[in-house]
Structure 1
Amino acid sequence: MGKDRQKDKMSGIYIHIPFCERKCIYCDFYSIEKLSWIDSFVDSVLREIEIFKKESDFTETSCFDTIYFGGGTPSLLKISQAEKILNSLYKNFQISPNAEVTIEANPGTVDKEKLFSFKEVGVNRLSFGVQSFFDEDLKFLGRIHTSQDAIECVKFAFESGFENINIDLIFGLPGQSVKDWVKNLHKAIELGVPHISAYNLIVEKGTPLYELVRNGKVKLPDENEQAEMYEMTMETLESAGYIHYEVSNYAHEGFECRHNLKYWEYENYIGFGPSAHSFWANKRWWNVANLDKYLRAIGLDKLPIANFEILDSEKMIEEFIYLGLRSTGIDLNKFRGKFGFDFLDAEIREELNELEKLGFVEVDNFKVKLTRKGFSVCDEISVNLISKIKYVSR
């Protein structure tokens, strides 16, 4: 799978569905609870796709092999609405016949019939926002489902014919013990899902959780406890046969998320919907993060772009290193091809030798990748190597 994707240089498409029945207290993604706007939103996404196709100068020769419905809660879409969006994408772009088509789904918004219908219209990968199998955690986070709902949804997905299923889980929750976190992992393993995303809770400014923590009303596990949870995540999932292919993501072989790998491996992708980001060659742009402004722009037959940036070589090198270390490693041939010099320069090689001795990285003629120990200090290693690269490239 990996070899074919690299060879074909295919790109990805992201659709942001900004609707939730209830916004979670930790979430800083753009989403709203005005479900009555979904019909107008879908019509505008269809129009945005057409405008983009008309105005872009690279899609005629580009092929896409992943489509990802994120949010928000994409599973709030009617089947007919999801089908319209997919039909529009297939009409306007070259989509690979074996494309990975993912939809994020929250337990409590889907049943067996709806899951089966999603599969019928072309969705072949599900990502369930479970977060925890403890009802008290779900209540605190503002989730609308129970642990039993989550378990039943996963079972319904398998019964509906889905094989490629992800579960999102969060550790570092208030009052969460290492023991409870490991129970979450074992429950996910027991359900037989081939992909697990295990995230450390991040307290983002502007969220209700930030205010609760800032005001001392909520206390999170300390750094040592969170570090132990992360260590137990790697140990538990790797022991169960999952490949740790990104800082927070684990999969059985062949079930890595092809769409997310495009972000981590610095490949091209385009995004539709409010707040959606796009990246192509050395340009990044993003849509307005406001549904009303988004609808008005589309109504004027304009792309709803809020801003853009052209990345210089230094910025691209920084991002390439950071994203590579977070996932499958820094591809040395790809680095040389993109930037015109060897990553394993003498100055860098000396630093990598030290990191190898400490057990943080593995280096061969093709890749520099983090070990399990290295993943725990990924950001520090990235900053250090980036500073060395800046010195060498001057």
Structure 2
Amino acid sequence: MAGIYLHIPFCDTKCIYCDFYSITNHSKKAEFLNSIKKEIQFYSKQLADRKFNSIFFGGGTPSLLSYEEFTGIFDELYNCYDISADCEITIEANPGTLDKDKLDIFKKLPINRMSFGVQSFIDEELKFLTRIHTAEQAKSSINAAKAAGFDNVNLDVIFALPGQTMDSWKYNLDEAINLDTKHISAYSLIFEKGTMLYSMRDKGQVQNADIELEQEMYEYTMQTLANAGYKQYEISNYAKPGYECRHNLKYWTLEEYIAFGPSASSYIGNQRWTNIKNIGRYIELIDSGKPAHDFIETIDKETSVTEHIMLGLRSVGVNFEEFRRRHNIDFETAYSSPIETLITSGYAVKDAQSISLTRKGYAVCDEIVATLF
């Protein structure tokens, strides 16, 4: 089954590390909400034969929307698409934008999964990252979400911050585990071009964490979360059994997804497209009855094969039968030499059905794909 992504670009502040399309000016929110409903309608006939079992509200800060605003979007989605009864419906949330009253209201919506952008449980680190919440607010929001009846909760944390020590990262991870959420996403900090953080590094105001320290933090993360009962199913994602994010798995297993909103990317059939990263232009195009594409591409066989290997290895592995079905290629025969190298080096394990990376392999996944495939 396919997935649905909706990009809600509004934020209270722009974090220094974030390269996702977001805006702090909310003056076009009403126009945007009208346009995203029109875009939902626009693709409904094309996708009438698809069934959807995941919906993901990302951003931006989707939790800034009101109950009424969410209801309008949900009404359009359920009117236009065949959505499964057990659909996983995720909303990304900033801990600083939610309280008990709002969570109780959100529980009346179809939302059944909350994803909190915590990033750190140390206030000094949160200030550096320009997050609007405190560590206590983050813990309070997550506990309030669970008390409101949201059983499926994720939290995001970031390691390898400038000046971060191994001890401070251990503290962050302990705090995350103590909250007993079903899912934890732990990312290393990336200096994305175009962000304030990237500019700060160029000016010599900050520098990357030591590469050996970053590697130590990652290895500690994998081991510690495994010991706490979290299964790693992608380079940066860990879940209690049965709580893997269904929507994100679609990206990594090359399932189809349709996406709405500025900067949102879709993958349907053998085509992929990304919407324009400008809310005014997005509204203008959608309101004129046109798609809001920034670019569209047709995925050829070579690209499809490469992406299948790369995305498979960084997540749940490459299933041989699925690879043959998609590409008419026997993976074990075509890649016998890289497979042997990965296994003898301890980077991967293989059974009759698939090959997947070990923790050692996850740590050098990008290098593996670049050099062996």
- Give, in whole Å, the separation in 2 of the partners of 1:215 and 1:310: 40
Secondary structure of 1:130's aligned partner: strand
Residue of structure 1 equivalent to 2:72: 84
Q: 1:220, CA displacement in angstroms?
A: 2.6
Equivalent positions of 1:333-352 (< 5 A) are 333-345=321-333, 348-352=335-339
Residue of structure 2 equivalent to 1:370: 357
Deviations 1:175-206, CA, capped at 9 Å, x for gaps: 10111111111101101101000001000111
Q: 1:149, CA displacement in angstroms?
A: 0.5
Contact map agreement 1:15 1:69 (CA 8 A) in 2: yes
Q: 1:351, CA displacement in angstroms?
A: 2.4
- Give, in whole Å, the separation in 2 of the partners of 1:85 and 1:309: 28
- Give, in whole Å, the separation in 2 of the partners of 1:170 and 1:343: 35
Deviations 1:47-86, CA, capped at 9 Å, x for gaps: 11112224x2xx1111000000000000011111111111
- Give, in whole Å, the separation in 1 of the partners of 2:97 and 2:163: 27
Deviations 1:27-51, CA, capped at 9 Å, x for gaps: 1110000122222111111111112
Equivalent positions of 1:104-183 (< 5 A) are 104-183=92-171
Matched, 1:184 2:172: yes
Residue of structure 1 equivalent to 2:304: 316
Matched, 1:49 2:40: yes
Residue of structure 2 equivalent to 1:40: 31
TM-score calculated relative to the size of structure 2: 0.98
Q: 1:357, CA displacement in angstroms?
A: 1.4
Count of residue pairs brought into register by the alignment: 373
- Give, in whole Å, the separation in 2 of the partners of 1:329 and 1:377: 15
* Structure 2 counterpart of 1:110, one-letter code: L
Residue of structure 2 equivalent to 1:27: 18
Equivalent positions of 1:195-344 (< 5 A) are 195-344=183-332
* Structure 2 counterpart of 1:49, one-letter code: I
Q: 1:384, CA displacement in angstroms?
A: 2.8
Secondary structure of 1:36's aligned partner: coil
Ranges of 4+ aligned residues in structure 1 off by more than 2 Å = none
- Give, in whole Å, the separation in 1 of the partners of 2:193 and 2:340: 38
Matched, 1:18 2:9: yes
Deviations 1:305-362, CA, capped at 9 Å, x for gaps: 12200010000000000000010001111000011020001x6223212221111000
- Give, in whole Å, the separation in 2 of the partners of 1:297 and 1:353: 51
- Give, in whole Å, the separation in 1 of the partners of 2:269 and 2:287: 29
**Structure 2: unaligned runs, 5 residues or longer:** none
- Give, in whole Å, the separation in 2 of the partners of 1:116 and 1:199: 30
Secondary structure of 1:279's aligned partner: strand
- Give, in whole Å, the separation in 1 of the partners of 2:84 and 2:38: 22
Deviations 1:105-158, CA, capped at 9 Å, x for gaps: 001101111112212111000000000000011111111100010000001001
- Give, in whole Å, the separation in 1 of the partners of 2:201 and 2:301: 39
Contact map agreement 1:52 1:303 (CA 8 A) in 2: no
Q: In terms of mean alpha carbon deviation, does 139-148 or 302-311 score higher? A: 302-311
Contact map agreement 1:103 1:126 (CA 8 A) in 2: yes
Residue of structure 2 equivalent to 1:6: none
- Give, in whole Å, the separation in 1 of the partners of 2:82 and 2:209: 47
Q: 1:285, CA displacement in angstroms?
A: 0.7
RMSD across aligned positions (CA): 0.9
Residue of structure 2 equivalent to 1:5: none
Q: 1:225, CA displacement in angstroms?
A: 0.5
- Give, in whole Å, the separation in 1 of the partners of 2:231 and 2:106: 28
Secondary structure of 2:167's aligned partner: helix
- Give, in whole Å, the separation in 2 of the partners of 1:273 and 1:258: 21
- Give, in whole Å, the separation in 1 of the partners of 2:149 and 2:322: 37
**Structure 1: unaligned runs, 5 residues or longer:** 1-9, 387-394
